[in-house]
């Protein structure tokens, strides 16, 4: 079995910059090397002396949520998201099942905005992990209307996260159940297109565990033909986990 390379050691110094986030203006002092890991967009702003952010070593992000930016920075420093089922760090993005999906959707959109593919892939893995687990009553929980709207409002057409939302409803929730929700129009269009293709191919959509939560690179962003290896890691993580 091939072993994945260990993540490169993050080189830290006293070269710091400041992010001022949200309408409440929460400050984050961040190593410049961590900014480079967090976002090429932020890295470019701080690197250029022709931009006021680079000269002042401060960037104001008034439209962002401090909790989601903090999670992006956490990922930049440690290379992983907190464990959805055990870490208290997730309480800031939602304490209940649907609230956690809404929070994960916001994280994905922050990764989209700041062009961090690894962060987006990790957020997808967290969603897949949550889909896989049954609660103490044996029920599964799926993203509902708010999470779907967050994804569709914060991602472009063809997004991997949009595909995941559609597949969850095609193979998990069941298309008949969408009448219970007020969903995004583009999501409905994508859902109809997916169902039409499946039916034309002679396939009957129904819940197939191997289709939804056996992890793969299908919902990840990376170069064509590459595999990031997270599927194998996530499968082991799921099998060893207790229900929520």
Residues of the chain predicted below pLDDT 50? 1-2, 4, 207, 209, 231-244
Same domain, 60 and 76: no
Same domain, 58 and 78: no
Sheet holding 26-31, edge to edge: 26-31, 16-21, 58-61
Domains: count for the chain: 2
Domain encompassing residue 190: 71-239
Same domain, 59 and 93: no
- Whether residue 244 is contained in a domain is answered as no
Same domain, 139 and 85: yes
Same domain, 51 and 107: no
- Whether residue 1 is contained in a domain is answered as no
Distance CA 202, CA 200 (A): 5
Give bridge partners of residue 21 from the DSSP assignment: 26, 61
| pLDDT at residue 200, as a whole number | 82
Same domain, 59 and 78: no
> How many CB atoms are located within 10 Å of the residue 183 CB?
18
Same domain, 56 and 105: no
Same domain, 145 and 234: yes
DSSP per residue, 156-224:
-TT-HHHHHHHHHIIIII-GGGGGGS---HHHHHHHHHHHHHHHHTTPPP---HHHHTS--STT--S-T
Select from 64, 92, 119 the last residue of a domain: 64
Same domain, 82 and 122: yes
- Whether residue 89 is contained in a domain is answered as yes
- Whether residue 8 is contained in a domain is answered as no
Distance CA 79, CA 38 (A): 10
The answer to whether 76 touches 37, Cβ cutoff 8 Å, is yes
Same domain, 136 and 59: no
- Whether residue 11 is contained in a domain is answered as no
- Whether residue 118 is contained in a domain is answered as yes
- Whether residue 12 is contained in a domain is answered as no
| pLDDT at residue 134, as a whole number | 77
Same domain, 122 and 151: yes
Same domain, 151 and 92: yes
């Amino acid at each position: 079995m091939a072993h994945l390379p260990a993540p490169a050691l993050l080189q830290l110094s006293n070269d710091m910059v400041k992010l001022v986030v949200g309408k409440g203006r929460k400050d984050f002092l961040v190593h410049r090397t961590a900014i480079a890991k967090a976002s090429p967009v932020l890295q470019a702003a701080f690197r250029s002396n022709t931009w006021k952010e680079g000269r002042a070593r401060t960037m104001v992000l008034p439209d962002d949520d401090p909790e989601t930016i903090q999670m992006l920075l956490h990922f930049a420093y440690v290379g992983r998201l907190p464990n959805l089922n055990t870490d208290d760090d997730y309480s800031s993005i939602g304490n209940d099942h649907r609230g956690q999906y809404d929070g994960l959707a916001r994280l994905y959109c922050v990764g989209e905005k700041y062009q961090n593919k690894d962060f987006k892939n990790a957020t997808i893995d967290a969603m897949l992990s949550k889909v896989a687990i049954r609660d103490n009553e044996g029920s599964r929980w799926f993203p509902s209307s708010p999470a779907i709207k967050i994804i569709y409002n914060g991602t472009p057409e063809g997004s991997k996260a949009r595909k995941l939302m559609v597949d969850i409803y095609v193979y998990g929730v069941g298309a008949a159940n969408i009448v219970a929700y007020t969903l995004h129009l583009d999501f409905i269009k994508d859902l109809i297109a997916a169902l039409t293709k499946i039916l034309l191919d002679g396939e009957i959509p129904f819940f197939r565990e191997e289709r939804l939560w056996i992890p793969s690179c299908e919902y990840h962003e990376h170069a064509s033909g590459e595999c990031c290896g997270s599927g194998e890691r996530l499968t082991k993580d799921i099998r060893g986990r207790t229900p929520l």
